[in-house]
Chains A and B, each alone.
Chain A
Amino acid sequence: MGYDTVIGLEIHVELKTSSKIFCGCKNEFGGEPNTRCCPVCLGMPGTLPVLNKKVLEYTVKAGLAMNCKTAGFSKFDRKNYFYPDMPKAYQVTQHNLPICYDGYVDIVVGHEIKRIGIERIHIEEDAGKLIHSSDGQDSLIDYNRCGVPLIEIVTRPDISSPEEAKIFLETIKTILEYIEVSDCRMQEGSLRADVNLSLKPKGSNTPGVRTEMKNLNSLRAVQRAAQAEAERQARILDAGQEVYQETRRWDDHKGESFVMRGKEESMDYRYFPEPDLPPVCLDENFVRTIKKSMPELPGMRRERYVNQFGIPKYDAELITQNKHIADLFESTTEICGNPKLVSNWIMTEIMKRINETGEMILESINGENFGQTLLLLDKGEITHASAIQVIDVLLETGEEPVKIIERLNLRVQRDETLVEDTITQVINDYPDALNDYISGKEKAFGFFMGKTMAALKGRGDPSQVKRMLAKELQKRMNQ
């Protein structure tokens, strides 16, 4: 029997404000355990929260980027539960009046555009981390992450496959990077997702029983967990059994999930309005100012690249998926002036290097040095091979392209006498090849071309060499 998969995501995103949500502590990943906390984020008796205004700004930004409405009146609530990483024994969150609601995000599935509804985006605080000793005897707590500002993005159940879930997450990640509210480093836990999934008979309108999979922290894990859960539920339904409403934990190593708690054990969080924080009344001006300062979003950029730079839609799509790469494209094009050349190089050499060594290479390469390199290539001052060499050296040493070119003597060799002498030498060295050529074997031309370029250490200008080689060979034929 076939089923339709129904998926909704809850995505937790750490905002990269400079300080935490309710205190002045630095908001940075890592650090020696318990060095980035104060009485407030440790929930010491008598302490009070003061909301970081940047958190509001970033959340509204995210809401606008996801086409949400912003609530004129919103408030904070306490979610009460005991856990050692939660020093107040309640999490400050927004229960029924989130700051943003009713939005959508368009994703590209194959060649189609699909609209995924955003139910709400609300603000909350992150908890600390438990660290268990390897012998299982001790549990230690690091409170550095306590009070790191989070937004939770809750989608409508509009996602219909694990693949779509992955694409949606990628799209969200791109948007958040564009509006610069989060680093979205999944490996550092700054973006984590819960997957709510249910199946229903194909074409049916009756929703099935759903399960919730907690805290998935990679795109791959989200897709795999959703896939495995859809298969698990299908097996249960195929066997004529019932799916239980429960919370499950995904084990990415084992590739399977386990029950965390069933419906009966579901927690009563006893939500009530946080009395230490006044309600948030968003000023229209505040929202308008943010709206005005909104940066260009990926979709808009894609269109502009096609129109302004005339690069193919496919290239534009690929380049705009990562804001840093798109930024590199623009700044490089500004220097080099040949957008098609830049986009080709980005999609081949740069993407290749990112895949090999990771995004940190974007810290060494920039519009200035990349642009200079491509400009010299475009002007024929260096060859394609030399340009690749320059990129590799500058990634390693950070040297300026011009200096690299001088130091390694990469500039194209155009000295007519030298080229002529080299060609004469090469032809003299290979009399058999010359005979081949004279007897009409065209392939020998390529042979001489390669040998000449090699003798010029790759620095010859191919068109010049070709022209002069042809002239010299003609001369020999006439002799």
Chain B
Amino acid sequence: MSICKKTIIETAELLRSREIGAVELTKEYINQIKKKNPDINAYVTVCENEAIKAAETAQKLLDSNEDISYLCGVPTALKDNICTNNIRTTCASKMLENFLPPYSATVYNKLQKSGAVLLGKLNMDEFAMGSSSEHSIFGAVHNPWNTAYVAGGSSGGSAAAVAADLCAFSLGSDTGGSIRQPASFCGVVGLKPTYGLVSRLGLIAFASSLDQIGPMTKDVADCALIMNVIAGYDPMDSTSVKVQAVDYLDGLEREVDDLKIVLPREFFDSALDEDVKDIIMRALKDLESGGAILSECSLPSIKNAVPAYYIISSSEASSNLARFDGIRYGYRDENAKNISDLYRRSRSEGFGREVKRRILLGTYALSSGYQDELYKKALKVRSMISREFNNAFKKYDVIAAPTCPTVAFKLGEKLDDPLKMYLNDIYTVAVNLAGLPAISVPCGKDKNGLPVGIQLIGKPFGEKLLLNIAKMIEMKAGRLQIHEEKEDL
């Protein structure tokens, strides 16, 4: 088995026992990227030299035998909306095609401090707006399970890179499902933490009140491990929350007694593919036979989640993306005649269609005369959804649902129909509106061999329980791995 197939924890053991060196491991991954990335298109930037340097530093740390992190020497990659000092951060947009951030995101600083090696930056939907990672100036990401299919989005590169063994783990960002949906499509574990648990400093904002950075990993234990590193209060992010540090890895396999799982009817509606439903129900039945109590409930406001989400996220985006004006950094049209012409041309040419669609939608929703009917109404829906979730959590420990209504769809299939594309998010957006944690964990494959993810939604800061249950599911369903023909031969 290729070393790149190994989980973080397995890799860390090999590094500690000197079975492989950090530099050798990094080179192995770089070769893998060179070989496989042309088909997958997960990476938009590979920083080979920096990676080898970081691996050398990590090796010194490993050799020092000091109390080092599990991540020391482990190769990783970041979604390209997470700022990395002096390493190009593009948001997969022409607007930032050559943008070198002057500082690093808190999460990247934390990873660096623990000795992780950054291999490069990962493809995505432009400015994280999309559900298929097709809206990228670098071209679409292909699903490693079947390259005719999308990897999901917007963290499609982060999911595909982990699934195709092009990094040991990655970080993505989730505004309305952007970690969970591609995790589900690519058969990896993806966690969207509680809003405020992971610092957003250095995450190029799409919708500030919804965005969260989270891990994408090969298995649940790795996910817990990464949470141990990236979670925690950041004084530089005013929306970050002071909570007691939790060891997510500790007791991951413990039995949970009297676990009350609820299945809201709205998540099992007619949009849900039968095949996907069967696979999800099988995983839930397994939990039931393990002692969990399954119930049904209704969260009626969920039906308004998609429109509310698109109004709120687009409104915030219209403001967040206004700074890309061609003045200080980023794309500038050099033929502009005056200042408003400069704005108009730079923004018209620098942003892609989907981004412009959302900016227009958001600008409209915030305009005087429409704000009450659109933005403010959406905020009301948002608080109703939160209230319904809160009520459900008074009775139940966790909500179970499919991550997506279907498995991965074909490239190009929904590209011309934005509404169809938006409806792909029906099971994920409510979680962001309520600021709750949710994990997508693989639980099987459909008849065409494409992965299916189950979504577990928890109480605020209830990540530990989610990881616990995800681990139970993983133990039953097994880790989904792609068997490549070449290797099988």
Contact = CB atoms under 8 A, between A and B. Distances in A.
Interface of A: 39, 42-51, 78, 80, 82, 84, 87-90, 139, 141, 268, 270-272, 275-278
Interface string B312-355: 00011011001111011100000000011001000000000000
Interface in B229-277: 235-239
Chain B interface size, as a band, is: 35 or more
Given A270-B363, A270-B366, A270-B367, A46 B238 contact: no
Given A50-B235, A50-B236, A270-B363, 17 more contacts: A44-B103, A45-B205, A45-B324, A46-B201, A46-B202, A46-B205, A49-B238, A80-B366, A82-B325, A84-B325, A88-B323, A89-B322, A270-B368, A272-B316, A276-B205, A276-B238, A277-B239
A78 B318 CA distance: 12
B316 A275 contact: yes
Interface string B355-367: 0000000010011
A76 to B, nearest CB: 10
Contact of A80 (B81, B101, B319): B319
A45 B363 CA distance: 20
Nearest to B375: A272
A44 B324 CA distance: 9
Nearest to B321: A89
Contacts of B146: none
A80 B321 CA distance: 11
A268 B367 CA distance: 7
4 interchain residue pairs of minimum CB distance: A89-B322, A275-B208, A270-B366, A275-B209
B204 interface: yes
Contacts of A48: 200-201, 236-239
A45 B238 contact: no
Contacts of B103: 39, 44, 47
Contacts of B137: none
Given A50-B235, A84-B339, A45 B319 contact: no
Contacts of B324: 45
Contact of A90 (B322, B339, B363): B322
A278 B241 CA distance: 11
Nearest to A276: B208
B325 A89 contact: yes
A44 B85 CA distance: 12
A255 to B, nearest CB: 29
Nearest to A47: B201
B390 to A, nearest CB: 19
B328 A46 contact: no
B131 to A, nearest CB: 22
Given A84-B327, A87-B323, A275-B209, A50 B367 contact: no
A89 B323 CA distance: 5
Contacts of B237: 48, 50
B281 interface: no
Interface in B95-115: 96, 99, 101-103, 105
A22 to B, nearest CB: 9
A82 B341 CA distance: 12
B179 interface: no
Contact of B371 (A270, A276, A277): A270
A84 B339 CA distance: 8
A307 B437 CA distance: 66
A48 B238 CA distance: 8
A68 B201 CA distance: 36
Kindly name the residue among B89, B105, B327 whose own CB sees the greatest number of chain A CB atoms within 10 A: B327
A46 B236 contact: no
A43 B323 contact: yes
Given A44-B101, A278-B238, A272 B319 contact: yes
B203 interface: yes
Contacts of A276: 205, 208, 238-239
Contact of A51 (B201, B202, B238, B315): B238
Interface string B69-110: 000000000000111000001010000100101110100000
A82 B208 contact: no
Contacts, number: 98
Contacts of A277: 238-239
A89 B316 CA distance: 13
Given A39-B102, A84-B327, A275 B235 contact: no
Contacts of B204: 45-46
A285 to B, nearest CB: 19
Contacts of A141: 327
Contact of B99 (A39, A45, A270, A272): A45
A383 to B, nearest CB: 63
Interface of B: 81-83, 89, 91, 96, 99, 101-103, 105, 200-205, 207-209, 235-239, 315-316, 318-319, 322-325, 327-329, 339-340, 343, 363, 366-368, 371, 375
B10 to A, nearest CB: 33
A277 B343 CA distance: 27
A50 B339 CA distance: 31
Contacts of B375: 272
Nearest to B362: A270
B239 A275 contact: yes
A89 B205 CA distance: 14
B102 to A, nearest CB: 6
Contacts of B99: 45
A140 B324 CA distance: 18
Contacts of B83: 45-46
B327 A45 contact: no
A333 to B, nearest CB: 47
Nearest to B235: A50
Contacts of B323: 43, 45, 87-89
Kindly name the residue among B200, B318, B325 whose own CB sees the greatest number of chain A CB atoms within 10 A: B325
Contacts of B208: 275-276
Given A45-B83, A46-B201, A278-B238, A88 B322 contact: yes
A245 to B, nearest CB: 16
B366 A272 contact: yes
Contacts of A84: 325, 327, 339
Contacts of A46: 81-83, 101, 105, 201-205
Nearest to B202: A46
Contacts of A272: 315-316, 319, 366, 371, 375
Contacts of A139: 339
A37 to B, nearest CB: 11
A374 B202 CA distance: 62
Contacts of B207: 275
Nearest to A274: B208
A58 B208 CA distance: 28
A397 to B, nearest CB: 48
A268 B239 contact: no
Given A44-B102, A47-B201, A278 B239 contact: yes
A43 B328 CA distance: 10
A90 B371 CA distance: 17
B88 to A, nearest CB: 12
B368 A45 contact: no
A43 to B, nearest CB: 5
24 contacts: A44-B103, A45-B89, A46-B83, A46-B101, A46-B105, A46-B202, A46-B205, A50-B238, A51-B238, A78-B319, A80-B319, A80-B322, A82-B322, A84-B327, A84-B339, A89-B322, A90-B319, A90-B322, A139-B339, A268-B367, A270-B363, A270-B367, A272-B315, A275-B209
A88 B323 CA distance: 5
B184 to A, nearest CB: 27
Contacts of A50: 235-238
Kindly name the residue among A42, A46, A51 whose own CB sees the greatest number of chain B CB atoms within 10 A: A46
A435 to B, nearest CB: 89
A124 to B, nearest CB: 16
Given A45-B101, A87-B323, A90-B322, A268 B368 contact: yes
A44 B236 CA distance: 14
Contacts of B329: 44
A141 B325 CA distance: 14
